[in-house]
């Protein structure tokens, strides 16, 4: 829901950062993989309840996720790069709640499972429509210069990042936040399925 607004705010600094990386000889795929590795470092930090450190790695992952896209637009967007980016993104999104589950299984297990279950709904509806949209040549005027169709919803990347920040700042309330955000994700899933089905029909 907020991605179209946040993109306008971060586009310019990401573009400038991408130009520096391009001159230094880095590729978009290298930044994607490096960002994923940084994101994975949040996992052990969460398990050992170092939530501030986990938040740092989450932030670095998201910065790299913005930089790789900006760099790809300079060097040329590829299907392989888009595939790598979205695959590692969804793995990272599921890794964070799993880390909180392992940090406190008694309090967080069911809520974490519910959230990951909800991520399956948002992810599958997102990717399924993107596949069909690509097949039919349907383009989204809001999210141009993307390697696949970005379907909007109540919970998008910006909201997910905000949720992860709340997890790290208020770890004692992980379960409540996870249930609320998971419910919002299911609303997104159902609206995507409904609108996607009728668009393709």
Q: What is the DSSP string of 96-162?
A: HHHHHHHH-HHHHHHHHHHHHHHHHHHHHHHHHHHHHHHHHT---SSS-S-SS-----SS-HHHHHH
What does the domain layout of the chain look like in residue ranges? Answer: 3-200
Q: Which of 10, 9, 8, 1 has its CA nearest to residue 152? A: 1
pLDDT of residue 2: 72
Q: How far, in Å, CA of 112 to CA of 177, rounded?
A: 10
Count, residues in the chain: 201
pLDDT of residue 10: 84
Span 3-200 CATH architecture? Up-down Bundle (1.20)
Which portions of the chain are predicted below pLDDT 70?
A: 1, 3, 140-151
Q: What does the mean pLDDT of the chain come to? A: 91
Q: Say what the pTM is.
A: 0.88
Query: Could you tell me the two tokens for 11?
Result: 């586009």
pLDDT of residue 8: 77
């Amino acid at each position: 829901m907020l991605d179209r607004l946040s993109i306008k705010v971060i586009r310019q600094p990401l573009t400038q950062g991408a130009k520096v990386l391009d001159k230094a000889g880095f590729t978009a795929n290298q930044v994607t993989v490096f960002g994923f590795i940084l994101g994975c470092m949040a996992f052990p930090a969460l398990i050992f309840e170092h939530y501030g450190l986990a938040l740092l790695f989450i932030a670095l992952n998201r910065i790299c996720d913005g930089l790789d896209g900006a760099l790809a637009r300079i060097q040329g967007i590829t299907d392989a790069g888009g595939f790598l980016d979205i695959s590692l993104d969804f793995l990272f999104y599921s890794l964070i709640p799993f880390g909180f589950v392992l940090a406190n299984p008694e309090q967080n297990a069911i809520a974490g499972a519910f959230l990951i279950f909800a991520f399956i709904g948002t992810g599958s509806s997102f990717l399924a429509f993107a596949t069909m949209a690509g097949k039919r040549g349907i383009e989204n005027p809001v999210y141009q210069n993307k390697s696949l169709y970005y379907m909007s919803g109540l919970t998008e990347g910006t909201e997910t990042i905000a949720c992860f920040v709340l997890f790290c700042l208020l770890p004692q309330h992980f379960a409540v936040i996870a249930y609320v955000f998971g419910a919002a994700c299911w609303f997104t899933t159902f609206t995507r399925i409904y609108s996607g089905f009728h668009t393709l029909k």
